[in-house]
């Protein structure tokens, strides 16, 4: 039979499928394929972090809306596609390498044959050889040489083709890696990439005693904006803010969609004062952009953003740094929105209260 699954695995898959459908019905979640993939993985228990995230969401009484489901899929299920591309790339690379080995082995054999032909032709010559004997020997050597040259040319052409193929495969793999770490809507890093980068930068800051800051930013009144103008316009707002974040940061910084309407910016080798300046430039850039409805050209007004700045401490892990940046963000929200708050006292001119 062509099936590799055992009956126990099939039974387990059936149970997971039934449980996934049951859970979606229980929590009023639409049984569309993308939601099914999320809840099937939950029912299987294959991804403990996903189960914890969903359990926390459910225990708090918050619904699993479309935006939340998308965020969870990007964070916990994006590795499946990358794994498939990696496997396919590996198989193609193996195939290319096997072909190269065959050609080299064949060329080595031809080299041996060439040497044998030359020795045979030379052995037939002596002081008594006639001009005709010499011509025949030279002819034999030339023929063997041409054959050897043809094989060398074939090897060179195949190596060039294979080099091009390997480059293409590397680009495919890199594109898949990038896609698995990118938020599909905004084009910035996703939560998975944010978590990995923040952990890496914290380790680096601890080892080098370099400063590190984290911005957590939230679009002001985004839910109201979404409810008033619809999700498509809400998506336009998210893309606009992501563009301002990208334009306002350096190549060494990491901009990520942290979740929903929240964004995170990791700022290596950056003091709190400099991070505040970067955050305020971003805030001002967002506020300066007028939003226009694409379908009608109608002006929808301006969007504002609040940001909190967390500063790295040697005892920090990701969770503690995020928690302090979040606390600063909430302080900015409580004090009127459209402003930046950090763990330091904020100068009056950077406390631009929303009008």
* Mean pLDDT value of segment 162-188: 73
Residue 257 pairs with which residues in a beta bridge?
263
Quote the tokens at residue 213: 């800051």
Quote the tokens at residue 322: 């995020």
Quote the tokens at residue 343: 């763990």
Q: 261 an active-site residue?
A: yes
For CA atoms 217, 221, 223, 229, give the dihedral sign: negative
> Residue 29's pLDDT band (boundaries 50, 70, 90)?
confident
Beta strands 254-259; 262-268: pairing state: antiparallel
* Mean pLDDT value of segment 16-37: 78
Residue 3: Cβ within 10 Å count: 8
pLDDT tens digit sequence for 247-281: 999 999 999 999 889 999 999 999 999 999 999 99
Q: For residue 212, how many C-alpha atoms fall within 13 Å in the half-sphere facing its CB?
A: 27
Contact 262, 222 (CB under 8 A): no
Contact 213, 270 (CB under 8 A): yes
The alpha-helical segments, DSSP class H, found in the chain are: 7-26, 33-44, 48-59, 66-76, 79-123, 131-180, 191-208, 222-229, 231-247, 272-288, 318-334
User: Under 8 Å CB-to-CB from 219, ≥6 apart: which residues?
Assistant: 225, 237, 238, 241, 261, 303, 304, 305
* Mean pLDDT value of segment 286-295: 82
Phi/psi of residue 157, nearest 5 degrees = -65, -40
Chain-centroid distance of CA 157 in Å reads: 34
Predicted confidence at residue 106, as pLDDT, reads: 61
| Range name among 183-197, 224-238, 245-259 with the lowest pLDDT average | 224-238
Phi/psi of residue 215, nearest 5 degrees = -100, 135
When comparing pLDDT for 318 and 69, which is higher? Answer: 318
Burial class, 207, CB count within 10 angstroms (exposed 0-12 / middle 13-18 / buried 19+): exposed
DSSP 8-state class, residue 61: T
Q: Which residue has the tokens 């930046």?
A: 340
| Range name among 9-23, 66-80, 90-104 with the lowest pLDDT average | 90-104
Q: For residue 202, how many C-alpha atoms fall within 13 Å in the half-sphere facing its CB?
A: 20
Catalytic residue from among 74, 201, 261, 276:
261
Task: Calculate the alpha carbon distances from 264 to 20, 62, 214, 255 in Å.
Answer: 32, 22, 7, 6
Contact 285, 247 (CB under 8 A): yes
> Residue 233's pLDDT band (boundaries 50, 70, 90)?
confident
Q: Which of 2-6, 47-51, 329-333 has the highest mean pLDDT?
A: 329-333
When comparing pLDDT for 35 and 95, which is higher? Answer: 35
Quote the tokens at residue 190: 């996703």
């Amino acid at each position: 039979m062509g099936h590799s699954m055992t009956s126990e695995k099939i039974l387990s898959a059936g149970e997971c499928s039934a449980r996934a459908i049951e859970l979606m019905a229980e929590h009023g979640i639409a049984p569309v394929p993308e939601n099914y993939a999320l809840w099937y993985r939950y029912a299987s228990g294959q991804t403990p972090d996903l189960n914890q995230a969903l359990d926390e969401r459910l225990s708090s009484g918050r619904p699993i809306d479309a935006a939340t489901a998308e965020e969870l899929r990007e964070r916990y299920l994006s590795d499946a596609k990358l794994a498939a591309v990696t496997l396919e790339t590996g198989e193609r690379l193996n195939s290319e390498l096997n072909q190269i080995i065959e050609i080299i082995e064949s060329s080595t054999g031809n080299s041996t044959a060439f040497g044998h032909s030359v020795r045979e032709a030379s052995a037939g010559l002596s002081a008594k050889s006639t001009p005709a004997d010499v011509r025949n020997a030279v002819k034999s050597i030339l023929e063997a040489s041409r054959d050897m040259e043809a094989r060398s040319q074939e090897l060179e052409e195949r190596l060039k083709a294979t080099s091009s193929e390997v480059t293409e495969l590397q680009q495919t793999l890199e594109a898949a890696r990038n896609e698995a770490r990118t938020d599909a809507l905004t084009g910035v890093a996703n939560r998975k990439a944010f978590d990995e980068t923040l952990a890496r930068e914290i380790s680096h800051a601890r080892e080098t005693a370099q400063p590190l800051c984290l911005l957590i930013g939230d679009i002001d009144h985004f839910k109201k904006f979404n409810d008033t103008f619809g999700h498509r316009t809400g998506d336009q707002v998210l893309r606009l803010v992501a563009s301002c974040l990208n334009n306002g940061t350096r190549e060494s910084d990491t901009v990520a969609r942290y979740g929903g309407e929240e964004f995170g910016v990791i700022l290596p080798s950056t003091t709190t004062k400099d991070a505040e300046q970067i955050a305020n430039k971003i805030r001002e850039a967002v506020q300066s952009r007028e939003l226009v409805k694409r379908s009608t050209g109608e002006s929808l007004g301006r969007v504002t953003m609040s940001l909190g700045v967390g500063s790295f401490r040697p005892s920090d892990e990701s969770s503690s740094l995020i928690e302090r940046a979040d606390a600063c963000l909430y302080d900015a929200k409580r004090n009127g929105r459209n402003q930046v708050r950090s763990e330091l006292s904020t100068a009056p001119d950077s406390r631009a209260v929303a009008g």
